[in-house]
Structure 1
Amino acid sequence: MQEYRAIFGENGRLIIPAPLRNKMKLNPGEEILLRYDNNSINILTMKQAVKEAQNIVMQYNKEHISLTDSLSKSRHEDEKDE
């Protein structure tokens, strides 16, 4: 594990040190997700958060059914019923 020092500034601003931003491939203006857990803050890029959510969903989709196709089919069926 690597550690980096940062200073908590005015108005709650926190500057993420450049080496860490580079490792995480963060760009100015990019949205990130902050998770508070067990008295710690974890930073995830939105891409990492989406990938994590996809992995959770795939645990319940062991047959690798296309969820997009399934949703589309369901919507078409709903439209026919209206």
Structure 2
Amino acid sequence: MNSKKLPDGVVYDKISTYLESEKKPLFKELCTEKKLGAYIDQRVKIVQEEVEGLLSNGMYQNEAYEIALNSVCL
């Protein structure tokens, strides 16, 4: 794992918090269908892959995560 990348658990929490506060209908639907964990796991993987590419191009960690999280969550 790239030492500049955040642990998956941290990214998972950020996505979960975003969904719970900003996308309440989707959050409730995923909870009801018991698909929230799988949905967030998929998003974590996408974010980490995108961040890896951004970091390899010289971007700072905070900027890379902000861009990746925004692209996945919006």
User: Which TM-score applies when normalising by structure 1?
Assistant: 0.28
Q: Radius of gyration: which is bigger?
A: 1
Choose between structure 1 and 2 for higher RCO, CA contacts under 8 A separated by at least 6 residues.
2
More strand by percentage: 1
Higher share in helix: 2
